[in-house]
Amino acid sequence: MNMATRVLAVIAALSIAGALSAPFKRISDPAELREIASAPVGGASMLAILGGYKSVIADFIWIRAYCAWEKKDSAECSASIDLACSLDPQMATFWTQGARMIAQDMPHWFLARLPKAERDEASLKLFRRKQALVAIALLDRGLKLNPDNLQMLIAKGQILISVEKFAEAEKVFAKAKTLSDEFYSRRIYASLAAKNGKFDAALKELEKMLSEAEADNPVRAALTDEIQRVNSLKKLSEK
Amino acid sequence: MIWLIAANTFRETIRQRFALLAAIVALALTAASKYFLRLDLGHDQLKFVFDFASGAMNFFGIVIAISASCSILAAESENKTVITLLSKSVNAADFAFGKALGVCMALAIFALAIFAAACASLIISKADMPDGNPAYVNYAGVFAYCFVQWLKLCMCVAMSVAVCSLSRSFLFAVSVSFLCIFCAVLSEALTGMGGSSWAAKITSYALPDFRYLESSRIMAFAPIDFKMLLNMGAYSAVYIVCALALAAWFYSRRDF
Amino acid sequence: MAVPIEVKNLTKYYGIGKRGMLMKALDGVSFCLNQNEILGLLGANGAGKSTTIKILVGAVKPSIGHALICGQKLSKQLKRKIGYLPESPYFYKFLTGFELVNFYARLSGMKAKDARDATEKALEIVGLADAADRELALYSKGMVQRAGLAQAIVHDPQILILDEPASGLDPAGTADMADIILRLKSRGKSILICSHSSEEVQRLCDRVVILSKGKIAACGKLDELLKKSGQTDMRFETDAADDIARIESAACAIGVKTISKQPAKMPLSEFFRRLVK
C-alpha cells in the first residue's frame, strides 16, 4: 500500500468521523473553553493537557512572580504574571495583583535604573502612564474571560484614576456598581461623574446611597458632605 | 475473539511498569490533594481538590493511554506474536478492536480508582470546612466527569492503534500519537491559524476536538445535564469507531 | 478431494524503501502438500521459506499467485484447520503454559470446556504437563518450543505448518520432537516442515521442496532426489576381523574398488541421547 493510499484513507476516515459527529458537537462550558481559546498556543496546550493541575502550577508560577518582585526584576515578574494568568484565568487575584505590580511598583523600578540626574517627577509620570497601559491591557484580557468580575473592574478603575483618565474610569465604575450593592464602587462612580460634569447622575447615586444607608452607619456623614460638595459644584458650573 | 484478545491485552496492560508507575503517581497526587491546599493562593477549596483528579485523568491518563497502546502493539510486531494470532481464527479487525478494548478496560480501572480517590479527598475536605459552609459537590457528577474523561482516553487509545497500524517502530508510533493528541487538543488554534481557507474549514470539520469533552467543573458542582452527557458519548464513540475501523483496514493490508 | 495445501505461481515483491525499488522474495513458486504427508521446505537463509509460510498462514498477501487450503482461499473458518508453530516462538511471558495454550485453543474457536480438556492433552503430548502452571518467563528455550507445538496442535488441526520445529532443542529434545511429528502423521495429519537441518528433513519427510533465491530448485521424493545414478551403497556387519580381509579380496577379484574403510561410529546426537537418558 503506497503513501498516497494511506493519506487518502486517513483523510476519508477523518471526514466520515467529522460528518457523523457533527450533530453532537456542543460546547459544554463556554467559560472554560474561552480560556483555552484565548491563551497563547503553548498555554492552551498546557491548559488542555494538564487539566486541574494547572491551578497548582499557576500557584507555583505566582510564587515565582513574587520572588521576581522582591528582586525588582520587571521582565521576570511580568512574564510570570502573564503565565500565571494564562494557566489559571479564573483567579482574579492574579490579574488584579499582577496589574497593580505593573502599574504601581514597576515605574519606581524603572526610575531607579535611570542616572540620578534624570530621576525626576516627569520621568516617573511617564513610566506610570506607560505601565498603566500595560496593566490595563492585562486587565482587559482578564475581563474578556471574566466579564463580570468586580475585583478586576475596580482594579482597572483605580489604575485609570491614577493616570487621570477619569472619563474611562467613570465607565468602568458605572459597570462595577451594577454588579454589587456595596458602597465603594458607587461612591467612586459618583465622584467621577461629578468630576466629569455629570452632577445630576452623581447626585442621584449619592442620594440613593444615603436612603439605603442605615441610620447609625458612619458613612452617612461622608455621603451628606459629598452631596453638599456636588451641589455647590453644580451651582458653580451653572454660573 | 475480540473479547479473548481484549482480556489478554488487559492482563498485559496492567503489567506495564511505566503505566503502573504513572497510575500510582496520579492516584497518590489525587489522594494527597487536600494537603496541597496549603499552597493554595485563593482558589475555591473543593474545586482545588477536584482539580487534582481532573489533572490526573487528563495528564497521566493520556500518557498511560498512548504509552500502553503503542508499547503493546509494537511488542506484538517485534516479537512476531501477531503472526501466531493471525494464524488462528482471528482477522485484522478482531486484532485491532481486541487490543484497543483491552487497553480501554485497563484505563477504566484507572478512571474508577481516580474517581474513588477524588471522592475520598472531597469528602475529607468538606468535613474539614466550617459548619454552615454551603459548598456543594455532586458525586454522581464527579462520576460522570470521570466517565467522559475515560471516553476521551479511549479516543486516545483508538488514535494510537490507528497510528501503530501504520508504523513499524515504537518511537515513531509514540511521537505521532502524541502529535495527534496535540492536534485534538489545539484543534481550534490550528484551524484559526489557517484563517477562512478551505483547508482550515476541512481541518476544523474533520479533526477530533477535545473541547467538546471538556466539562470538568460543570459536572462536579452542578446537576448533571444528561443530554450533554449523551452528546459527549456519541461524539467520542464516532471517532473511536472510525479510528479503529481505519486501523483494522490498515492491518488487513499490512505484511507482518 | 482437494489437497491440504496448494501453492500456485506464488510471487511476492517487497518494497525496499528506495523509490520504486522492489525485492522479489518469491518467484513463481508452485507445490502442494498431499494428504497425510510430511513435506519438507528447505533452503538457505533468504531463500523465501518464511515468506511462503507467512503467506500460507495469512500474515502476508502474495503479489501474484495464490495459496489454497483444502482447495479454498484462506478464511477465518479455514484457519481452524491449520496449526502453526512459528520459528523461535515468543509468547506472552506473564501467562502460564496452560493459560497460553488454552488462550490459543479458544482463539481457534473451541468452547471453554473443550479448550481446557484439549489443552491438558496437548501439554501431555509435548511433555509439559508438569510445567503447565509455571509462567513462560521461567521456561527454558526448549520448553517454549514445546509450548509452541502444543498451541499448534491443541485444536486438532488437519494441517500442521512447523517452522524450524527443532530450533533450540537439544538432541534428546529433537528426537522427541521427531517422534511427536511422526505420531501426528500416523493420526492422519498433513505436515509442512520448514527447516535448515537436512538431517531432520531426511529423517522425517516424505517429499522435499528446495528453494533457492525465491525459486524452486528441486522438488520430489527424497529417495529419488538423493539417488546417485549408477551407484549403490552397501553396508556389511560382522564380528570376525578375518571377514573384512576376505570381503576386500573378493571385491578386488571382481574388479570392485574399496573406497573407504573405518571403524563403525555412532552419530554424536545418538551418543548424547543415550548419555542424557
Give the residue-averaged pLDDT of C71-98. Answer: 87
Smallest Cβ–Cβ distance between C82 and the set B4, B87, B256 belongs to B87
Residue A135 lies in a domain: yes
**What residues are paired with C216 via a beta bridge?**
C211
CB contact under 8 A, C79 and B88: yes
Contact across the interface for A13 and B242, Cβ inside 8 Å: yes
Tell me which chain B residues have a C-beta less than 8 angstroms from the C-beta of C91: 81, 84
Q: Do C89 and B84 touch (CB under 8 A)?
A: yes
Q: What is the pLDDT of residue B190?
A: 63
pLDDT band at C271 (very low <50, low <70, confident <90, very high): low
Residue contact C103–B253, C-beta within 8 A: no
User: Could you say which of A110, A139, A164 is where a domain stops?
Assistant: A164
Please report the sign of the dihedral spanned by the C-alpha atoms of residue A202, residue A208, residue A212, residue A216. positive
> Which of chain B's residues have a Cβ under 8 Å away from the Cβ of A60?
39
Judge whether A13 lies within some domain: no
Q: Give the dihedral of Cα atoms B118, B121, B122, B126; nearest 10 deg.
A: 180
- Inside any domain, residue C258: yes
Q: Are B129 and B67 in contact (CB under 8 A)?
A: no
pLDDT at B240 over 60: yes
Residue A70's pLDDT is 94
Whether A106 is covered by a domain: the verdict is yes
CA distances from C232 to C213, C226, C227 (A): 32, 12, 9
Please indicate if any CB of chain A lies within 8 Å of the CB of B97. no
- In chain C, the number of structural domains is 1
Q: CB contacts < 8 Å between A and B, how many?
A: 146
Q: Is B129 helix (H, G, I), strand (E, B) or coil?
A: coil
Does residue A157 lie within any of the structural domains? yes
Mean pLDDT of chain A: 86
Indicate the SS3 state at residue C37: coil
Give me the residue label for grid cell 517485534.
Answer: B78
pLDDT above 90: residue B179: no
Q: How far is CA C162 from CA B248, C39, C146, in A?
A: 28, 10, 12
pLDDT for position A188: 92
Contact B81 C106 (CB under 8 A): no
What is the arrangement of strands in the sheet containing C64-69, beginning at the earlier edge strand?
Answer: C22-33, C5-15, C64-69, C72-73
* Cα A10 from Cα B34, distance rounded (Å): 45
Residue A156 has pLDDT above 70, yes or no: yes
Identify the band that residue A111 occupies on the pLDDT scale cut at 50, 70 and 90: very high
**Phi–psi pair at C32, nearest 5 degrees:** -145, 155
Q: Is a pLDDT exceeding 60 seen at residue B162?
A: yes
Residue among A17, A36, A54 whose CB faces B238 most closely: A17
If you count residue pairs, one on B and one on C, with CB atoms under 8 Å apart, how many are there? 65
Chains that touch A (3 or more CB pairs under 8 A): B
User: Is C231 buried (19+), middle (13-18) or exposed (0-12) by CB count in 10 A?
Assistant: exposed
Task: Assess whether A180 and A65 both reside in one domain.
Answer: no
Summarize pLDDT for C13-39 with one digit per residue, the tens: 887 766 667 788 888 889 899 888 999
Instruction: Give which of C100, C107, C171, C178 is closest to C139, Cα–Cα.
Output: C100
**What is the CA angle C209-C213-C214, rounded to 5?**
60
The answer to whether the CB of A69 falls within 8 A of the CB of A77 is yes
Q: What is the pLDDT of residues C229-267, one digit of tens each?
A: 566 667 777 777 788 788 888 888 888 877 777 766 666
Residue C272's domain comprises: 241-276
Q: Which residue in chain B is spatially nearest to C87 when comparing CA positions?
A: B80
pLDDT at A40 over 70: no
Residue A14 lies in a domain: no
- For residue C248, tell me if it sits in a domain: yes
Look up residue B56 and give its DSSP letter: I
Q: Is residue C256 part of a domain?
A: yes
Question: Residue A161: which H helix or E strand, with range?
Answer: helix A150-162
Query: Which one of A137, A164, A191 terminates a domain?
Result: A164
Domain membership of residue A238 (yes or no) is: yes
SS (H, E, C) B158-175: HHHHHHHCCCCCHHHHHH
> Exposed e or buried b for every residue in A16-54, given b needs 16+ CB within 10 A?
bbbebbeebeeebbeebbbbbeebeeebbbbbbbbbbbb
Q: How confident is the model at residue A41 (pLDDT cuts 50, 70, 90)?
A: low
- Nearest to residue A137, comparing CAs of A76, A77, A193, A81? A81
Cβ-based burial of C261 (10 A; exposed 0-12, middle 13-18, buried ≥19): exposed
Q: Which residues lie closer than 8 Å to B97 by C-beta, 6 or more apart?
A: B2, B6, B244, B248
Return the closest-CA partner of residue A60 out of B36, B122, B118, B63. B36
Task: Evaluate whether B251 touches B85 at the Cβ level (below 8 Å).
Answer: no
Q: Give the closest of B59, B209, B238 to A51, CB-based.
A: B59
Closest Cβ opposite residue A41 in set B51, B52, B186: B186
Q: What is the pLDDT of residues A170-189, one digit of tens each?
A: 999 999 988 887 888 899 99
B63, B95, B191, C49 from B186: Cα distances, Å: 17, 31, 9, 49
Residue B228 has what pLDDT? 84
Model confidence band, residue C269 (pLDDT cutoffs 50, 70, 90): low
Q: Tell me: the pLDDT tens digits for C180-237? A: 899 999 988 999 999 877 777 878 888 888 888 888 888 888 777 666 656 666 777 7
- Chain A residues with CB under 8 Å of a chain B CB are 1, 6, 9-11, 13-29, 32-33, 36-37, 41, 44-45, 48-56, 59-60, 62, 88, 91, 93
Q: Is B4's CB within 8 Å of C107's CB? A: yes
Please write the tens of the pLDDT for every residue from A54-73: 778 888 899 999 999 999 99
Query: Rounded to an integer, what distance in angstroms lies between the CA atom of residue C73 and that of residue C8?
Result: 12
Is there a domain that residue C251 lies in?
A: yes
Grid cell digits, residue C96 = 502460564
> Would you put residue C234 in left (φ > 0), alpha (ψ -120 to 50) or beta?
beta
Using CB atoms, which residue from B11, B80, B90 is nearest to C86? Answer: B80
Query: Is A227 domain-assigned?
Result: yes
| Structural domain containing residue B162 | 2-252
Same domain? A48 vs A125: yes
Write out pLDDT tens, residues C89-143.
Answer: 778 888 899 999 999 999 998 999 999 999 999 999 988 899 889 888 898 888 8
Nearest-Å Rg of the Cα atoms of chain C is 22
Task: Give the range of the structural domain holding residue A236, as residue numbers without chain letter.
Answer: 176-239
CB-CB under 8 Å, B15 with C94: yes
Please indicate if any CB of chain B lies within 8 Å of the CB of C111.
no
Smallest CA–CA distance, residue B240 to chain A, in Å, is 9
Q: What is the pLDDT of residue B133?
A: 60
Q: Is C109 on the interface with B (CB under 8 A)?
A: yes
Same domain, A110 and A197: no
Please, which pLDDT band fits residue C77 given cuts at 50, 70 and 90? confident
What is the residue whose three cell numbers read 484559526?
A: B192
User: What confidence category does residue B73 fall into, taking pLDDT thresholds of 50, 70 and 90?
Assistant: very high
Please report, as a single letter, which amino acid is at residue C21.
Answer: M
Instruction: For residue C135, tell me if it sits in a domain.
Output: no
Neighboring chain C residues of B86 at a CB cutoff of 8 Å: 57-59
Q: What is the model's pLDDT at position C220?
A: 82
Q: Is residue A232 part of a domain?
A: yes
pLDDT bucket at B186, cuts 50 / 70 / 90: confident
Contacts of residue B58 in chain A, CB cutoff 8 Å?
A: 48-53
Domains of chain B: total: 1
Q: Are A79 and A132 part of one and the same domain?
A: yes
**What is the rounded CA–CA span in Å between residue A187 and residue C273?**
106
Q: Which of B11, B79, B83 sits opposite C57 (nearest CB)?
A: B83
A189 or A237: which leads in pLDDT:
A189
